[in-house]
Amino acid sequence: MERTIMLIDCQSFYASVEKASHPEYHDDPIVVAGDPSRRSGIILAACPIAKSYGVVTAETLGEALGKCPNLVVVKPRMQLYIDVSLLITDIFGRYTDLVEPFSIDEQFLDVTGSIAYFGPPEQIAALIQTRIMLYTGVWARVGIGPNKMLAKMATDIWAKKNESGIFTLQKPDVQQLLWPLPVGKMFGVGSRMIAHFQRMGIHTIGDLGRMPLAELKRRLHARMGRNSDIQAELYWQTANGIDPSPVKPGTHDAQQAVGHQMTLPRDYANPHEIDVVLLELSEEVCRRSRAKGYMAHVVAAGAQGADFDQPTGFFRQMKVPDPTNITKEVFAAARSLFYAHWDRLPVRKLGVTLSSLVPDDQYQLTLFGNREKERRLERTTDAIRNKFGTTSILRASSLLEAAQARERSVKIGGHYK
């Protein structure tokens, strides 16, 4: 039986939530932007009025103000956006139990079994739109199709631009509606891939969809190497409206890794300052790993250079002798990796990641050192932080000028709560 899938996208989500919270800004151009005094002074979301002035996401706040001097700038409130997103998820649950988050403002729904109760797909989409608007003040756009890929492209290409905010893209419509469009309109194709396709003589989605799969694999292999076969198949299936993946509510539940990275408030080149941040990152990923009940076999560290025009950086990993979530051990591994690969140029971003996770309820005892004492100590500090706040107990190094722990404690995802 053919499925009926929806991709529901909330228009200018952060900005829409802020407009709903501030009715006085209803007719004003509003953007949500990070702190200009740090590196995060970029546009995270812009309302349709702001976009009409040419303001776009990811540009700097200064560029946006140059286009629209009367712009209303609001700092992000990430906890509020998370709460509204969860409320919208609850709304979806009134119509189907098959809901798969795609991002904070986009979710897939399989409403195949709901049609008998709520009516045709377009009617269900309109009901969901109305309920979201009434509950949150956010306008939602809905793409409908027989699979996730077509529903996503129905949203991005058509539903976001028509008055109703609803568009259905069925498999028989792919050649007529999708194939004439530039290949860059296809989901998953970025600027670099557009250049590859154009050099191969592929300019439209139809050029890609009509090409025999074996020929596409051969051409991509010649341009991108032997690991391109899977990419070629994915692009070819997308161009032909094929996507066998189901809507799976628990698809993001399985933890693959625990990582944390941060953009620094200034360029760091002093090893002593870098060590402070690496230690804080190690402590953060270990704390989260312990909270989730995991240890890691693999520790990774990465950095990004300070030159925006010619970015440099690395991401390297190593397997540790025994799985761990002990801060001291992870910091030692991360520090070793960092200094083995750092080019000694200033850095603007640092990150530490734990992967190859295993449950922490069983582990190998070691002959040297007292790992169980370390575990008890860290469980105790975790309990104190859980009860009194993340800054209730800090390492002395986190009081230094280079430290970021106190600043980070009032943020979610790098933005203010």
Question: Which CATH number belongs to the domain containing residue 210 in this structure?
Answer: 1.10.150.20
Q: Are residues 211 and 333 in the same domain?
A: no
Judge whether 106 counts as a catalytic residue: yes
| pTM to 2 decimal places | 0.77
Distance CA 416, CA 36 (A): 13
Give the CATH number, domain containing residue 294.
3.30.1490.100
Give the span between the Cα atoms of 301 and 295, in whole angstroms: 16
Same domain for 286 and 366: yes
**Pair (235, 284) in one structural domain:** no
239, 265, 293 - which closes a domain: 239
CB burial readout 260-285, b (16+ within 10 A) else e: bbbebeeebeeeebbbbbbbbbbbbb
Residues 70 and 201 in one domain: no
Q: How many domains does the chain have?
A: 3
Position 3 in a domain: no
For residue 306, give the nearest of 362, 265, 338, 335 by alpha carbon.
265
Would you say residue 362 lies in a domain? yes
Strand ranges, E, within 133-180: 140-145, 166-168
> Is the pLDDT at 361 greater than 90, yes or no?
no
Residue 9 known to bind ligand? yes
Query: Which of 179-193, 353-367, 382-396 shows the highest mean pLDDT?
Result: 179-193
Whether residue 266 sits in one domain with residue 235: no
- The CATH number linked to 35 is 3.40.1170.60
Residue 136 lies in a domain: no
- How many residues are there in the chain? 417
Catalytic entry in 100, 106, 280, 284: 106
Query: Mean pLDDT, to the nearest integer, of 74-86?
Result: 92
Q: How high is the pLDDT of residue 40?
A: 53
Q: Quick one: pLDDT at residue 367?
A: 60
Q: Is residue 323 part of a domain?
A: yes
Predicted pLDDT at 363 = 65
Domain ranges, residue 42: 13-78
Same domain, residue pair 297 and 358? yes
Q: Report the pLDDT value the prediction gives residue 144, as an integer from 0 to 100.
A: 98
Q: Average of pLDDT values for 372-400? A: 87
Residue 39 predicted with pLDDT over 60: no
Residues 276 and 412 in one domain: yes
Distance of CA 405 to the CA centre of its chain: 22
Q: What is the DSSP string of 248-286?
A: -TTTTTS--EEEEEEEEEEEE--HHHHHHHHHHHHHHHH
Q: 307 a known binding residue? A: no
At residue 391, the pLDDT reads 84
Q: How many CB atoms lie within 10 A of CB 116?
A: 7
219 in a domain, yes or no?
yes
Mean pLDDT of 110-138: 97
Looking at the predicted structure, is the pLDDT value of residue 412 above 90? Answer: no
Residue where a domain stops, chosen among 28, 52, 78: 78
Is 231 part of a structural domain of the chain? yes
Does residue 245 register a pLDDT over 70?
yes
